[in-house]
Every structure is written in C-alpha cells, then in structure tokens.
Structure 1
Amino acid sequence: MSTRLPSWLRQHLAALRALLVLTVLLGLAYPFAILGIAQIPGLKDHADGSFVTNSAGQRVGSALIGQSFTDADGNALPRYFQSRPSAAGDGYDPTATSASNLGPEDVVDSFDDPATHGEDEGKQSLLTQVCARSLAIGRLEGVDGARKYCTRSGVGAVLAVYHAGPGFNGPITRVVSVNEACPATPFLAAYQGITVACRAPGDDVAAGERVLVRGDAPNTPAVPADAVTASGSGLDPGISPAYARLQIPRIARERGLPVGEVRHLVEENTTGRALGFIGEPSVNVLELNLDLDRATAAPRAG
C-alpha cells in the first residue's frame, strides 16, 4: 500500500517540475532556436550588430550606431563628414543612450557662483547649446551660423526685464542679459530706453520678465536643425541630406576631390523614407566617410 504524500509537498514538487520544464523551454530551447534563426543568411548581419568594416577588413563601427569624427580635444576633423550632436554619455555611448530631456523653455544658462568656493555649477541651456553649435558649424563650413534668438557671440539672446511694483506691468527699472556673465558686453545696448546690463553673480533673473530677442537672423538658417540638436536616442547614425550638402564644399576642398564626386557619394549613402512615406531621408555618416577614404586612396585617372 503506497503512502500518499502530504498536499504541501505535492504542491512544491509540482512547482519544481514546472520550474524545470519552463527553464528548459524558455531558458535553453527558445534562446537557442532564436540564435539559430538569426544565423540564417540575410539575418545574420543584423543579428550580429550590423558591423561596418573598412578597406582593411577591420571593424570600425555599426551602421546602426553613430559616432563622432573629432580629435582628442573634440574638434571636428575637417576631412570627414560630421555627425549630429549626441547626448548619450560622452557621445554615442550605447550603454548610456538618452536624450538631454531639455525642452524649448530651457533658455537660461546657469553660472558658477563664487560663493560656493569653486564648485562647478555652470550649465548651458538648450538654447545656448543650439546657438553655440550653429556658430561653430557656420565657421567650419564658411556660412552664416546666425539663428533666431541667438546672439552673435553664440548664446541665447534672453533678457530679464524688471518692473517697478508687482507683476510685469509697471515701468521698467532694470534689464539684464541673462546668458552673458559680467564683464561681458551685452548683445543689446538698450531695451525700451533702459541700458542692458550683463549678469552679475547673485542676480535673481527669475524675478524679471523673460524676453527673447529674435534678432536679424533669417527665418531659414544656413545650418540645419539636426546639426545643432541631438536625437532622442543619442545614437542616430544618420544626418539629413541638407546637413550633408552643407559639408560637401569643405570635404571636396580638404580631400582634393571634385564637388560632383563628393555629392555622388552622398547620394549613394542616402536612404529614403521607409515604405516611401515613413520618416525622413537620412545619410549614414560612417559609411559615407568610409567611402570617402576609399575614394581618396584609390588611384586617380590623369
């Protein structure tokens, strides 16, 4: 006569059997099945990371993850097409993929306060980041890097306007350029008859009315938007055709290549909209720069 196990023990044994079965199915069989499917020709390259190799067969990156083409000091290498900015770690770090989480209302810079004994509290606003990038790219490409609401020095053109009495309806008593720390000369000499001052340590700019000054920049800037803003992931491998076209004259000059040949390479590395209507055309910067290296290294006729 067999002895019946206690109900609590039967329940534990059933749970253990279920654990073992599910471990084999989902922890071993399923992953190995997916791994096998991923090795099918046509899928293997994508599954392995879409690696890109140079002419020597060395892996130099992935077609899915962007990278910077700068020197050790972060300066753009003039012989290469430049990628868009990245907010992922120190730039294009796949382990720290992220956006800056800064929005259009982020227009006021913060500066180091001498009272904190050297603690680094300085931080550029999104507006100043865009202004500074546009100015630098304009200089690199030989075009006007001016943008709306940016000063000619490359910071956000923002004023703190103080009024007498409560609210912002009284007479103006003081005006401060919030993104130009003293002893800088403000971008605007006067606002509504009141001299504009630079921002001194301790200025409570939040107490003033925030006024953005448009300036005389064109409605359509010479430097495209993707050249001065990071993507949501921080890993975008592509740039817009407009940003690529902006860089063509510099690349042709630095490489000693005809402008038409560089333009043709850009077109070859341009991907259209998915299904013809989803997204925007994009130029893969890494693959374009590798094609440039090959074109420059190849013997030239004549």
Structure 2
Amino acid sequence: MSRSISAERAASLPALISLRTALVMILLCGGVYPLTVTALGNLLFPEQATGSLLTDNGAVVGSRFVGQSFQSAYYLQGRPSAAGYDPFSAGGSNLAVSNPALRERAEQASQALQTRYNVLAKDIPVDMLTASGSGLDPHISPESAHLQAERIAQARKMPVAEVHSLIEQHTEGPELWLFGQPRVHVLQFNLDLDARKSMP
C-alpha cells in the first residue's frame, strides 16, 4: 500500500514542479519585473517614461517624438505622412522607389510646392515630397523650414529675417555630433513662434 502511494506521489511530482515553476515565472515576469522596470524608468528618466510630452501654458500639446499635421499658413508644416500622423496607424507607404504610384504622388506634390513657393523642382527638399518610414517624424530639414519662412512671415506680418533667425535657433545638429542630419522640430518651433508673435 505504501509503495503504491509513493509511486503516485512520484508520478505527480513533475506536475507539481511544473506548476510551481509556472507560478513563480508568472509572478516574476508578469509582476515583479514590469513593476521594477517601470519604477526605475520613472525614477531615472521621468520625462521619457511619460512620453516626452510637450506643454503650452500647462496644457499637454503633443510629444517630442510624434509629429502633428499643421495646415495653416501661420505655421511651419511637417513632411507628408502616410499614416496621417496617427500613432495607432504608424507606418510608411511601403511603396518602392520604382512604384509608379509613388512617383505620381511625388510629382503632384512637387507641382503644388513649385506653385506655392515659386521655386523650381530641384530646389524642393526631398523631405517635403516623401513620407518618413514611421509616418510620425516630428522633424523636417532646415532647408524645408527656410523654404516656408516667407509664407509664415507674410501670414503673421513679421519680418522674414526674424523667421529665418528662429529657424536657425531651432536647428538641431546630429545626435552626438555623428548620427543623423540637422533638423528642425516642427511643434517646438510653432510653439515658440506663437510665443513670440501671435497670429493676427
């Protein structure tokens, strides 16, 4: 009798070990680890852990890493977005350079920009014609920003030199002086623009 009980216990031992291991792993990976990482993130990197939010007069107006659509002539406008700047639909158009649809879209955008800014096609920065890989890029090139300076100055009735100067102030260099290109953060520029010169 005792031998059969011992045999039954021995047979159930692997199942108990597996159950205990699963419970411990669930507790560690589903509770302790996420809570610890979240707490450390909030402690060491409070701004990044909360989304790198940007505020204006105490109100959250966006994130440092997510672009927004600006259509008004009073503002600096970002690059095209295949996702409509929707974080839940982030992604590029997935169209190859050889795709006729991409070429047609770029040509249409080029024609519109040539008319709007009275420039030649070769003078239009490429980031004004193409969407970023994520569709959420909050930056544009300094060349794209300077191209829009005259429009902004006319709309806000301010000297165009002041707009150019503000663009220069907002031009960020490559990360660690090595990675990436010079760029202008569209939302931060527009917030500063509103603070300096309100719309008529």
Work out whether 1:223 is the aligned partner of 2:199.
no
Shift of 1:276: 1.2
Paired with 1:8 and 1:98, the residues of 2 have a C-alpha distance of 52
Unmatched 5+ stretches in structure 2 = none
- 2:92/2:135 contact within 8 Å kept: yes
2:49 alignment partner, one of 43, 47, 50: 47
2:77 alignment partner, one of 71, 79, 82: 82
Unmatched 5+ stretches in structure 1 = 71-76, 108-124, 147-220
Deviates more, 1:135-144 or 1:234-243: 135-144
Paired with 1:47 and 1:138, the residues of 2 have a C-alpha distance of 42
Paired with 2:54 and 2:153, the residues of 1 have a C-alpha distance of 24
Shift of 1:20: 1.2
- Deviation per residue, 1:218-244 (Å, 9 max, x gap): xxx121100000011111110011101
1:78 counterpart letter in structure 2: A
Shift of 1:34: 0.9
Segments of 4+ moved more than 4 angstroms = none
1:47 counterpart letter in structure 2: A
Paired with 1:140 and 1:57, the residues of 2 have a C-alpha distance of 35
Q: Residue in 1 aligned with 2:108? A: 132
- 5 Å-filtered alignment, 1:1-302, equals 3-4=5-6, 5-40=8-43, 43-54=45-56, 56-70=57-71, 77-88=72-83, 91-107=84-100, 125-144=101-120, 146=121, 221-297=122-198
Shift of 1:10: 1.2
Q: Secondary structure at the match of 2:13?
A: helix
- Deviation per residue, 1:179-231 (Å, 9 max, x gap): xxxxxxxxxxxxxxxxxxxxxxxxxxxxxxxxxxxxxxxxxx12110000001
- With over 3 angstroms needed to count, the CA separation of the structure-2 counterparts of 1:284 and 1:8, relative to structure 1, is farther
Shift of 1:53: 1.2
1:99 counterpart letter in structure 2: G
Paired with 1:9 and 1:53, the residues of 2 have a C-alpha distance of 59
Paired with 1:138 and 1:83, the residues of 2 have a C-alpha distance of 17
Paired with 2:146 and 2:167, the residues of 1 have a C-alpha distance of 8
Q: By percentage of residues, which structure has more strand? A: 1
The share of aligned pairs that are identical, in percent, is 41
Shift of 1:143: 2.3
Shift of 1:9: 1.8
Q: Secondary structure at the match of 2:61?
A: strand
Cα root mean square deviation, aligned: 1.8
- 2:174/2:182 contact within 8 Å kept: yes
Q: Secondary structure at the match of 2:33?
A: helix
- State the TM-score, normalizing by the size of structure 1: 0.61
Shift of 1:142: 3.0
Q: Secondary structure at the match of 2:123?
A: coil
Shift of 1:29: 0.9
Aligned pair count? 196
Structure possessing the higher radius of gyration over alpha carbons: 1
- Deviation per residue, 1:145-169 (Å, 9 max, x gap): x3xxxxxxxxxxxxxxxxxxxxxxx
Paired with 1:138 and 1:67, the residues of 2 have a C-alpha distance of 23
Paired with 2:173 and 2:74, the residues of 1 have a C-alpha distance of 25
Q: Residue in 2 aligned with 1:168? A: none
Paired with 1:269 and 1:7, the residues of 2 have a C-alpha distance of 71
Paired with 2:90 and 2:152, the residues of 1 have a C-alpha distance of 29
- 2:156/2:198 contact within 8 Å kept: no
